[in-house]
Structure 1
Amino acid sequence: MPGVNLVLNPGNKGVTTDINGEFTFQNISSGTYKLQVSCIGFQSLNREVQVKDEKSPALQLVLVPENYMINDVVVSGKSATRRVIEQAYQVSSVSTKELFNSTSDAKSVLDRIPGVRIQEEGGLGSDLSFTLNGFSGDQVKFFMDGIPMDNAGSMTLGDLPVNMIERIDVYKGVVPVWLGTDALGGAVNIITNRTNNYLDASYAYGSFNTHRASLNGAYTNEETGFTFRGNLFYNYSDNHYKVWARIVENNTVVDTAWVRRFHDRYRSGSLKLETGLVDKSFADQLLLGFMLSANDKQVQHGATMNTVYGGIVRNSQSVMPTLRYNKKDLLTEGLDVSLYSALNRSRSEVIDTLQGVRYNWLGEQSIIYTSNGERSTDGEFYRTFTTLDETDFNTQLNAGYALSTRSSLALNYSLNYFHRKAHDTEHPDEPANRFPKDLTKQVLGLAYKFDLNNKWSTTLFGKMYHIHAATSKLFDFAMETQRVEAVDNKQFNFGYGLATSYFVMPELQLKFSYEHTARMPMPEEIFGDGLFVEANPDLGPEQSDNINLGAAFSTQKLGNHHLSVGSSLIYREAKDLIYTVVTVSSPQTRYDNLSDTRVLGVEGNLQYAWKDVFHAGANVTYQDITDRAKLIYNESYTGSGWQTNYHYGFRLPNKPYLFANFNAGATAKNVLVDGSTLNVNYFVNFVEKYFLTWTELGAGSDKYIIPRQVSHDIELSYSLQNGKYNIAAECRNLFNEKLYDKYYLQKPGRSFSIKLRYTI
C-alpha cells in the first residue's frame, strides 16, 4: 500500500511507504520503540519494535479496512503556484489553467502580471521589449522549465501558445542560483505541461487573417518508464490592420490618413519532441530532445514609423538537439543532480534587395534617382542580402545537497558559447564580415539555505560571471587611417545576496531580498542584428544593487470567499546600464552604457474569489527610473573628456512609469447540458502617458509623448463533457482605441477571434 504513514517513538521519526508499500527508517540506534501506523480508511496499528545492533528488524504489516460515517471532509493544501509565491524570493506566479480556451500566448499572460510591461512594435510576430520593475530586454532572463531560452531557436514569447504552459513564475530582482544566469533585474520561468498522458489540440482564427494552431501531448508507460512528449504549433498573420500615418511624396508630408499595413506578414512554426525514461533507479528523468523552428517576417518599418518599407524581409530557421537528466538522492540520500545541454544551429537572413525604390504608407512606389539622373542602386534601407550562421551551445549543471532537514547547499554551473559567421552577397568584401563573432559566458553560483523554523527561511548566495568576446571594431572613422581590426574583450564580475522570508501568521508573509549582481552583454547587443541594430564592441557589463521588500496576505478561512493582497517596494541602483539609443528620425538603434541609473518603485495586487463562480483582481505598478550620473565621459574626434550630463535627474525615455491591470470573470456549471462550463472574462489595461525621448528635450507640442492608453478585452468560452470539447470567442481592444508602444509604434485596433479546442 503506498502513502501509509509510519511514526517511530521516541524520536518522532516519520516515513511514508512508496508505491510498492515499502518503507525504511535510517540510522536507528538499538533499543525499544513504539511504531504507529495510520492510513485513511484503515484501522490504526501500534506495534512495539526491538532494534538490536547486530540486525535490523524487517517487518511485514497488515492493515484492516475500517468503515465509518463522516459529515464533512475538508481537504486543504497548497497549489504549485502558491508554493512558488511563498518562496523567500520576491516572485509572482500565475497558473494558465483558466486560459487554455483563450488565444492567449506567453506574452499576453505575462503582460498582466504586476511589475511587468511588454512593449511591442506591432501585431503578431513583431519585436518586443520586456520590462520588469524598470529593467528591460536581456536584463531579464527567460527560461522554459528552468532551461535558458537564449538558445531556443526561432521561438519568441508571442509564439508560445498558452495550451503548452502550466504556469509562469516571475522572479523580481533577486534570481535563485539554480537558474544559473547573469540576470540584472529578474527572471521568467515558463513551466510547460508535464502531465504524463494527455492530448490537447486547438485551432484559432482571428482578425487580420490570423491563424494559430497547436498540438500538445504526452504518453508515458507506467511500468517501463518510457515516455514521449511533443509540442507542435503554427502561427500566421497578415497583420494588415489600419494605422494613422503620414503620407509622404517627394520627401514632403502631403496628408495624414488611416491606411492598412501592407508588408507585415508573419508566419512561424515549431516542433519540439522529447523521449526517454522516467522514474528509474538511475534517473528520475533521462530525455533526449529535438526542436525544429522557423519563422519569416516582412518588415514594414524600422524603429519608428517615419520610414515605410515594401520589400525588406527577415527569416530564420534553427535545429536544436537537447539532453535532460535529473536524479534525486544520487549515490547518497539528499544529493539531487540535474544536467541540461543543448546545441542550437541556426541560419537567418536579412534581405533588402529592391534598388532605387521608396514606398509611402499608401503602398505607392516612387523611383529614386542619383544626382546624375541614373536610377539609384541603393536598397530601401541598406542594400543587403546578409546570411547569419550561428552556433549556440548551452549546458547547465545543478547539484543540491540536504545537510539536514533545515539546511541545504546548492551549486550551479552554466556555460554558453555563441559563434556567428556573417556573409553579405550584396557586399561580399564587407570588412566586418571577415571577422567571426565569438562569445563565451560562464556563471558559477553557490547558495546556502537555512530554515530557522517553520516560519523563517533564509538563503545566502554568491555568483561569479565571466565573459570573453571576440569581434571587430572600426577605428579612425572618416580619416585616412580608417580600418577594421579584431578586438578581444575579457571581463570578470562577482555577485552576492540574500533572500529571507518570515510568516508573521499563516496568512501573512513578509519578505526581504538583496542582490549585488552583474549582467554580461548579449550577442545582439555587441554584434548587432545585421539590420536595424548597430554593433557596439565596446559595450561593457552592467551592475546593479537590487532591494525588494514585500508583504503578502492570503486567507482561505472566509467560508466561500478567498482574498489575497500583496505589495512590494523596489529599489535598484544600476551602473553602466545597457539601454537602447533611439533617434526619432532614424530607423536604426544601438545599445550603449548609461553610467548611473536609479529605480524607485512600488507595486500592489489584489485578488478576490467567491467559490468557483466569480473572481476579480487588479494590480498597479509605479516605477521612477532616472539618470543619476552628474558627469558623463564623451569620446569624440573633436575632443574627449568629462562633461556635464544634462539628463541628470530626468526619467529614462521610452519606459512607462505608471501602469495597471484589472480583471473580472464568472463561471457557470452545467449550462444547457450536464458536464458543461460557461466562462466569461474581462480585462482592462491602463498605461499612463510617457515620453519617447528625454523629458527635457523639446517644449509643449514639440515633445514626443506616447499618450495615455486604456484597452479592454473580453473572452467567452463554453466547454462540453467536462472540458473535452471547447469553443471560445474573444474581442481585443473592444473600443478600438489608438494604442501605441515601443518608439510610438501603433498596435492593432479592435480584433476578433474564435478558437476550437479538443483535449483528453
Structure 2
Amino acid sequence: MAYAQTGSIHGVVGDDRGSPLAGAVVTLYAPPHPALVAHTDETGYYAFGQLRPGDYELVVTFVGHERYRRPLTVKEATQRVDIVLNASQHQLAQVEVMAEKESSRLEQKPLAIKSVDIQEVISQNTVLSDVADRISGVRIRRSGSLGDRSDVSINGVRGTGIRLYVDGLPMEIMYPYFDISTIPLSNIKRLDVYKGVVPIDVGTDAMGGAVNIVTEQRHGNNLRVGYYVGSFNTHMADVQVGLASKNKYFVNLSGAFNYSDNDYRMNAFVFENNRTEKIKRFHDAYQMSFVSLNMGVRDKAWADELRLTVNYNDGFKELQQGTRLTATSVGEARYDADNYSGSLNYRKTFWGNRLKVATVLHSGTDNLAYRDTARAVYSWSGALIARSAQGELAFGLNDNRTQSLINRTTVTFNLSENHRFMASNSYARQKRTGKNHLLGDNRQADYLNYPQQLTKNISGLAYEGRFFDRMTVTTAAKFYFYKLNGVENNTFEAVGKTDRFGGFNVAAKYDFDSYLHAKASYERGFLIPFFEQFVGDGATILRNIHLRPESSDNLNASVGYERQLTADWSVYATVNGFLRAQYDVIYVTSGIIRRYENQEEVRTLGGEGELAIRFKNWQLKGALTALGKRFVNMKDPRNAYLEGTTFPNDPTRYGNVELQWQRKNFRVYGFYHHIGTFNHTLLGASDNAENRPELFVPAQHRFDAGVSYRFTRYNLTVALNAVNLTDAELFDNFSVPKPGRSFNARFIYEINKF
C-alpha cells in the first residue's frame, strides 16, 4: 500500500550548449528526512524512485557550473525534470585540476584511465595527438609532418596493439585512412586514455590500452566557428551549428578544412653537393576536408535518443620520403582518399533506469588512390638528379576500395545501486577490392581485383560491484572470432583463415578515504591483426595472411591522491607501475617496401606518474614515464642475438612539465617536453649510444609557450602559441626530423544560446 502511494522523478542534466553532463550531483532535500543523492550517468541521466509525495527542494551541482535549485512537488506519479546548468567561468578557474575527474567520472573507476576535456586544452594544441602526448605513459609520434600516420604507445605497448575508437567504435573500421593526428578538434568533447584494461562497451581486441575519442552530441541551439593559422602555411578552419526544437528534435551540421605545406627546414643530404645541408621540404603538402550532418530526437517514450549521422571527407597527402630518411627524396608520389559513411544510434532506458540498451550501426566506403609513376630521382634540394624506371617509392598506379560495416550493441542491467551487469557485442566486416591501372584490362593478373574480406565478432560479459562502501571490483570475459577470406598474392589461389579464442580481465579499486585510493588490474588480452596488416595497402605495404594474433599478459598497480587542501591549495598525484608480456608481437618492417611480421616475445616493465599542484591562480603539473622493453625467450635460433636487447623505435624515458597562470579570462603557460636517448633500429648485445651513436636518436628538449584570452562580450577566444622556442633538433618515428621553431594563432567564436 505504501509502495502504491509513492512517486518518482527522472531527467537529464545538460549544459547550456546542449551537451549532457556526466557526474553531476543531484540532491533532493525534504527536512527533517535525510537528503537523497544521485549522480548522473554518461548520458546525463538521473532518477529517484519510491519518493513520498510532498514538497522537496531539488539542487544540482557540477564543477565549473552555477548551482541549480528549485522547489519541487512530488506526486503519486512519474515526473520528468530536465535541468540546464550555466557555465561559471570563476568556478572553472578555481577547480580546473578537479574538473577532468569530475567531468567524466571515468577516473573514479578501478581501471587505469586518464580523461581530458578538449575544450580546456584546445587553445594550446594543434591536433588531437598533441593532447594525448602530454599524458603520462603515452607517446604519439608521426613520421614527420601534419597528415602523416601516427604511432601510439601506451605504457610500452604501441602500434596496432593500442586501438583507437570514436565513440566506442574502432577507428580503423569507421575511417580506415583517418588518424588521431588528422581528426578535427572542433567536434570532440573528450579524450579518454585507457592504460591497460579497456571496458567491454568501448574495447574490442585492444591489448594493453586504448584511446577513445568522445564526440560532442549537442541537443541545443549553438554556433561555433574556429580558425587556426600557423607556420609552414598551415590553416585549419571549422564550423559547427546546431538547432533544436521544443519538442526535442535536433539537427547539427559541422565541417572542417585542414591544409599545410609542411615545408619546414631540416638537415638532409644534398646529393649534387655531396654533403648535409639545411633544406626546405618541398613535396609534403597535406589537405583534408570533412562535413558531417546529424539529426534526431531525444527524450521520447520510445527512445532516449535516436540519431542519424552522415559524413563525407576527402583529402590528399604528398609523400616526401619513405619510413626512414634516405640519401634521396621523393618529389611526385602521393595518396588521394575519400570516405562517405553513415551511422544510426539508438538508446533507451527501461524500469526506472535499471536496464539500458544502446546500439549503433555504421556503414562506410573508403577510396584510396596511390600514385607513384614518376621515373625520377629527386635530391633533397628539390632538384631532379636522375631518371628511374620503377617509380620513387613503390611503382604503382592503384585504386583501393574498402567497404565497412560495424554494429555494437550493449545492454546494461543495474541489479542495485552497487551492482551491475553488462553484455556487449561488436560485429565488424571489411571488404577490399581495387585495381592496378598499370595492368590495363588484364584483371586476372591483378591481385587487387580479387576481393579480400575480414570478419570479426567480439563479445563480452562484465560485472561491476561496490563493497563495504570502499572497494569497487570489475571483471569481464571476452570471446573473439575472426575469419579472413582472400587469395594468395602470387598464385591467386583462394586462401582462408579462421580462429576463435577467449580472454578475461579483472580490476579493483580501494578507497582508503575520500582522498587516497589504490588500483590494480590484470588482463589476458588478444589482438586480431588489422585488415591492412593481413592484406596490405596496395602500395608500400605488402600482404601477409600468415600473421598470428598477438596476445599479452597486462598488469597495472597504482596509487592516487587528490585533495583540495585549502581554498588556495589543491594537489593531485598518481603513481602507476605496469608489466606487459607480449607474445607474437606484430610489427612493421622498416624498409621502403614493408610488411607486418610476428616477433616472438617482448616484455615491458615500467612506471609512470603525474603531479598537479594549484595555488591560487598558478598551476604546476608534470608527467614522467620510465620503462624497459626487451626481447625475451627467443625460440628461433636466427633471432637468438636479440635476447635481452632493447626493442627498437620505442622511447624509454620521457616526460613533461607545464606551468600556467590564469586569472578570469586570461591565461599564460610555459611547457617543457623531454625524450631520452633511444635506439631506432635493432641492436646487438654490445651496442650502445656511445659506441654506435648512429643507431640511436639523441635526447630531445622542447620548450613551448603561449597566451590566450576570452573576450566574453564578443564570445571570442584568441590564443597565440610558440612551439619549440629554442629551435631544437627534434626527431619522430625512425629518426625522421620534426619541424623547428613555429608559431600559430587560434580564434574561436562560440554562441551557446540563440
Same fold (TM over 0.5): yes
How far is the alpha carbon of 1:82 from its aligned partner?
A: 6.0
1:29-87 CA distance string (max 9 Å, x none)? xxxx897844579999999xxxxxxxx96799xxxxxxxxxxxxx99998544621111
Look up the match of 2:601: 596
- Would you say the 8 A contact 1:384–1:427 is kept in 2? no
Report the secondary structure of 2:323's partner residue: coil
In the aligned structure 2, how far is the partner of 1:589 from the partner of 1:657?
Answer: 25
Shift of 1:333: 4.9
> How many angstroms apart in 2 are the aligned matches of 1:749 and 1:365?
26
* CA-CA distance at 1:534 after TM superposition: 2.0
- In the alignment, which residue of structure 2 is the partner of 1:397? 409
Whether the 8 Å contact between 1:245 and 1:257 is mirrored in structure 2 is yes
Match of 1:93 among 91, 115, 129: 115
Conserved 8 A contact 2:378-2:386: no
Contact 1:383 1:426 in 2 (8 A): no
Q: Post-superposition shift, 1:717?
A: 1.4
CA distance in 2 between counterparts of 1:238 and 1:644 reads 42
Q: Is the counterpart of residue 259 in structure 1 residue 279 in structure 2?
A: yes
* Distance of 2:399 and 2:340 partners within structure 1: 16
In the alignment, which residue of structure 1 is the partner of 2:559?
Answer: 551
1:713 aligns to what? 704
SS for the counterpart of 1:403 is: strand
Which whole-Å deviations, capped at 9, do the CAs of 1:68-115 have from their partners, x for residues lacking one? xxxxxx999985446211111011112223323335321110110111
Alpha-carbon contact 1:155-1:293 (below 8 Å) kept: no
- Residue 616 of structure 1, aligned match among 594, 614, 620: 620
Q: Is the 8 A contact 1:6 1:35 kept in 2?
A: no
Kindly provide the CA deviation profile for residues 379-403 of structure 1, in whole angstroms up to 9, marking residues without a partner as x.
2233211000110111100100111
Q: Distance in 2 between matches of 1:14 and 1:245?
A: 63
Check the 8 A contact 2:29/2:35 in 1, yes or no. Answer: no
Bigger Rg, structure 1 or 2: 1
- Structure 2 contact 338–368 (Cα < 8 Å) conserved: yes
The whole-number CA distance in structure 1 between the counterparts of 2:354 and 2:315 is 44
Which residue pairs with 1:70 in the alignment?
none
1:363 counterpart = 2:363: no
**Judging changes above 3 Å, is the alpha-carbon distance between structure 1 residues 45 and 216 closer, same or farther for their aligned structure 2 residues?**
closer
Cα pair 1:468 1:488 within 8 Å, conserved: yes
Structure 1 counterpart of 2:484: 469
Q: Secondary structure of 2:232's match?
A: coil
Rounded Cα–Cα distance in structure 1 between residues aligned with 2:746 and 2:649: 35
> Secondary structure at 2:565's aligned position in 1?
strand
Structure 1 residues 725-740: aligned runs within 5 Å: 725-740=716-731
Partner in structure 1 of residue 178 of structure 2: 155
Distance 1:616 1:163, change over 3 A: farther
- Find the counterpart in structure 2 of residue 120 from structure 1: 142
Change in Cα spacing, 1:603 to 1:45, as seen in structure 2 (3 Å) is closer
TM superposition shift of 1:591 = 1.2
- Whole-angstrom distance in 1 between the partners of 2:73 and 2:237: 58
Contact 1:297 / 1:315 at 8 angstroms: preserved in 2? Answer: yes
Is the contact between residue 174 and residue 362 of structure 2 (CA under 8 Å) also seen in structure 1? Answer: no
Aligned partners of 1:145 and 1:190 also within 8 Å = yes
Query: Offset of 1:629 from its aligned partner?
Result: 2.2
> In structure 1, what residue type is equivalent to 2:669?
N
Match of 1:213 in 2: 237
- For residues 59 and 320 of structure 1, the distance between their equivalents in structure 2, rounded to whole angstroms, comes to 39
Fraction of identical pairs, as percent: 27
Which residues in structure 2 correspond to 1:15-34 (within 5 Å)?
Answer: 25-26=49-50
Deviation string, structure 1 residues 343-378 (Cα, Å, up to 9, x no partner) = 1111110001112x211111111333xxxxxxx542
Q: Which amino acid aligns with 2:227?
A: Y
CA RMSD of aligned residues (A): 3.1
Structure 1 residues 189-198 or 557-566, which shifts more?
189-198
Given the superposition, is the C-alpha separation of residues 155 and 199 from structure 1 closer, same or farther in structure 2, using an over 3 Å criterion? farther
SS in 2 for 1:101: helix
Separation in 1, partners of 2:748, 2:349: 37
Letter in 2 for 1:623: L
What residue identity is the alignment partner of 2:470? K
5+ residue gaps, structure 2: 1-8, 11-25, 41-45, 60-67, 80-93
- Match status 1:136 vs 2:135: no
Whether contact under 8 Å (1:472, 1:537) holds in the other structure is no
Q: Which consecutive residues of structure 1, in runs of 5 or more, have no partner in the other structure? A: 48-55, 61-73, 369-375, 476-482, 633-641, 670-676
User: How far apart, CA to CA, are the structure 2 residues paired with 1:288 and 1:685?
Assistant: 41
1:164-215 deviation line (CA, Å, top 9, x unaligned):
3222110111010111410011111122233433221111111111111111
Distance 1:16 1:758, change over 3 A: closer
Counting only pairs closer than 5 Å after superposition, residues 518-557 of structure 1 correspond to structure 2 as 518-557=526-565
Q: 1:147 to 1:230 in 2, by over 3 A?
A: farther
User: Cα–Cα, structure 1 residues 758 and 9, in superposed 2: closer, same or farther, change >3 Å?
Assistant: closer
CA–CA distance in structure 2, aligned partners of residues 492 and 425 of structure 1: 37
Equivalent-residue separation in structure 2 for 1:24 and 1:93 (angstroms): 28
Q: Which residue number corresponds to residue 663 of structure 2?
A: 668
Q: Which amino acid aligns with 1:380?
A: E
- With over 3 angstroms needed to count, the CA separation of the structure-2 counterparts of 1:159 and 1:643, relative to structure 1, is closer
Q: Does 1:318 align with 2:339?
A: yes
**Distance in 1, Cα, partners of 2:231 & 2:36:** 62
Listed one character per residue, the Cα deviations across residues 394-437 of structure 1 (whole Å, up to 9, x for unaligned) are 11001001112221110000011001102111134444224211
Matched, 1:508 2:516: yes
Higher-helix-fraction structure: 2
> Aligned-pair distance for 1:129?
0.6
Conserved 8 A contact 1:724-1:759: yes
For 1:153-552, list aligned pairs within 5 A: 153=175, 154-195=177-218, 196-221=220-245, 223-249=246-272, 254-306=274-326, 307-329=328-350, 333-355=353-375, 357-368=376-387, 377-428=389-440, 429=442, 430-474=445-489, 483-552=491-560
Partner of 1:638: none
Deviation at 1:255, TM superposition (A): 1.2
Partner letter of residue 511 of structure 1?
K
The one-letter code of the counterpart of 2:697 is I
Equivalents in 2 of 1:171, 1:24: separation in Å? 31
Could you tell me whether the CA contact under 8 Å between 1:620 and 1:660 is conserved in 2?
Answer: yes
Distance 1:382 1:121 in 2: 18
Contact residue 180 and residue 445 of structure 1 kept, 8 A: no
Q: Report what 2:18 is aligned to.
A: none
- Alignment partner of 2:454: what SS? strand
Q: For the Cα contact (< 8 Å) 2:605–2:629, is it kept in 1?
A: yes
Amino acid at match of 2:207: L
Q: What code does the residue aligned with 2:384 have?
A: Q
Matched residues in 2 for 1:341 and 1:44: separation?
41
Report if the CA contact (8 A) 1:205-1:754 is conserved. Answer: yes
Q: Kindly provide the amino acid, as one letter, of the partner of residue 263 in structure 2.
A: H
CA distance in 2, matches of 1:243, 1:325: 50
Helix, strand or coil for the counterpart of 2:649? Answer: coil
The answer (yes or no) to whether the contact 1:103–1:161 under 8 Å persists in 2 is no
Retained in 2: the 8 A contact 1:8–1:34?
A: no
Provide the TM-score with structure 1 as the length reference: 0.85
Alignment partners' CA distance in 2, 1:514 and 1:595? 22
Note if contact 2:666-2:709 (Cα within 8 Å) is conserved in structure 1.
yes
1:448 touches 1:461 (CA, 8 Å); kept in 2?
A: yes
- AA matched with 1:529: D
Aligned residue-pair number: 691
In structure 2, give the amino acid aligned to 1:364.
Answer: A
CA 1:188 to 1:614, structure 2 compared with 1: closer, same or farther past 3 Å? same
